[in-house]
Amino acid sequence: MTNFGQITATASYVPEKVVSNDQLAEIMDTSDEWIYSRTGIKTRHIATDENTSDLCIKVANQLLEKSHTSPEEIDFIIVATMSPDYNSPSVACMVQGAVGASRAFAFDLSAACAGFVYALSMGEKIIRTGAKKGLIIGGEVLSKVLDWEDRTTAVLFGDGAGGVLLEASDQPHILKESLHADGTRGMSLTSGYKENKNPYGHSTTGQTTCLTMAGRDIFDFATRDVAAAIAELIEGETIDYFLLHQANSRILDKIARKVKAPREKFLQNMDKYGNTSGATIPILLDESVADGTLTLGNNQKVILSGFGGGLTWGSMIITL
């Protein structure tokens, strides 16, 4: 019998320190009005003594506790991140070791802001091969890769993690999906460049390791390519809610118009957290379950859609 993946628990965690737009205005040339009117962001959480693995471990422990699952029951762990602690070990392996999931294989997935949707798609395929339970986590500490003198990027991002427990079900819950990438436009958003400085050659690229973004290019990409992909995916479908990557409220406004869906169906929380890249969708999902907007197990039909660096974008229709 074929197994399908079903989300049976959600969790999220953000660092304690909250930084407002007014506080950013004390260290850079910006203002609350400038940031909020252009992005919909009011505050963001910033890690002071935690790294990406710390946030993801807290999410994993929450998922195990909420679902009354023992660590030994977990078959796999996937962490979607563009800000890992190390190149190796992976964040997922650090989570595996910390929570005692001794039977689980573990790996990171790098697809920037589309990472959680990519990872959920991958996890469901693993369930179909016979696995029973897996943790899918999106986690970021983007504050460590930002240029804090660049107001065009530093005001946008925050730190956080969210995740789900994916379990085997005899009924399909991921109904449709659409994953895309376009490496020809990859330089529109870059982070963490590493020069090859071996003693046998010379590297003179001058590229920065900090996050850089061509904001207009990303905005146009999201409102054109992502909107088109969502419109195609939802044709003929009745969607209860849209959970899109939380990058910019104006992007959600425009996508809602383009796909001809009511704006109130597009849930959002970027006003509190900013853009947490691969963590935005699972944080939003967990908050929406916690406040009663969404209920696991009641077959609400929602669309998840992430988009960003790579360029990558991915959407899926799921039932909860």
Which of 45, 113, 173, 210 is catalytic? The answer is 113
Q: Is residue 245 annotated as part of the catalytic site, yes or no?
A: yes
Spatial distance between the Cα atoms of 264 and 249, rounded to a whole number of angstroms:
12
Residue of 228, 222, 207, 251 whose CA lies nearest to 312:
222
Q: Contact 75/129 with Cβ under 8 angstroms?
A: no
Residue 197 is inside which H or E element, if any? none
Which of 3, 51, 93, 245 is catalytic? The answer is 245
20 forms beta bridges with 43
Spatial distance between the Cα atoms of 69 and 103, rounded to a whole number of angstroms:
13
- In the chain the beta strands, taken as DSSP E runs, fall at 4-13, 18-20, 43-45, 76-80, 105-109, 133-141, 159-169, 174-181, 189-190, 212-213, 241-244, 301-308, 312-319
Angle between helices 227-234 and 249-258 (to 10 degrees): 40
Spatial distance between the Cα atoms of 55 and 91, rounded to a whole number of angstroms:
10
Task: Quote the Cα angle for 296-286-270, to 5°.
Answer: 140
Cis amide bond preceding 252, omega within 30: no
Residues acting as catalytic residues: 113, 245, 275
